[in-house]
Amino acid sequence: MANTLIYLVDDDELYLKTAHHNLGQNKGFTIKTFMSGEEVLKALSKKPDIIILDYFLDSEKPNAMSGIKVLQEIKQIAPDVEVLMLSGQEDIDVAVNSVKYGAVDYIVKNKSAFIRVQNDIKRIMKGKEKDKDNAGFRKFVITLVAFLILLIIFLIIYAIDHTVFGLFPDPGAPIKDPNELPGLSH
């Protein structure tokens, strides 16, 4: 999990600092904090691995984007960025909406929230590593298949024309006396 870039988004400054401190204990995390959804959307050009997003970003500033609206924007701009939704609400509808709009998990802010966040981060990063390994294996298999197809094509051409369009000497041609080859003098 080295170099995992995590964006923390919460309008509660104290919670944001606490979350930053707690997650900052892991040496493999680079953490950037944001007090609003608008700020994090502007920072998506440097694509994070994970965004931890508060559901009620409009609790301090009523005109601010809500967490669910920010989630929808994130998924439009960077669909492969994983989002964990946090909230103080233990409302099943809030959790369902979060997952419906693309959050990987919905975590209630309680005593075990940071442990759950860290477990989710580990699970997400293992999944990304597995995807990366699978992509490398897929590339290897595609290259191998392409090589085998070219080899089969070559063998078919060779079976039809042993000179392979004149690239190789004709094995059926009579062997000439080396002394008769042009350019050789005694």
Reduce the DSSP state of residue 9 to 3 states and report it. strand
Q: What is the pLDDT of residue 64?
A: 83
User: Residue by residue, what is the 3-state secondary structure of 123-138?
Assistant: HHHHHHHHHHHHHHHH
The 10s digit of each residue's pLDDT in 41-55 is 999 988 999 999 999
Tens of pLDDT along the chain (186 residues)? 458 899 999 998 898 999 998 888 888 889 999 999 999 999 998 899 999 999 988 766 778 898 999 999 999 999 999 999 998 888 888 888 898 999 999 999 988 888 888 889 888 888 878 777 777 888 888 999 999 999 999 888 888 887 877 777 777 777 776 666 555 555
84 contacts 71 by C-beta, under 8 angstroms: no
Largest Cα–Cα separation, the chain:
101
- As a residue count, the chain comes to 186
Per-domain boundaries in the chain: 4-131
Cβ neighbours around 2 below 10 Å, total? 8
83 contacts 120 by C-beta, under 8 angstroms: no
CA atoms within 13 A on the CB side of 43: 20
Q: What is the pLDDT of residue 25?
A: 84
61 contacts 30 by C-beta, under 8 angstroms: no
Q: What is the pLDDT of residue 112?
A: 83
Instruction: Write down the CATH number for the domain with range 4-131.
Output: 3.40.50.2300
The 10s digit of each residue's pLDDT in 7-45 is 999 998 898 999 998 888 888 889 999 999 999 999 998
* Helix residue ranges per DSSP H, the chain: 13-23, 37-42, 67-77, 92-100, 113-160
pTM of the model: 0.67
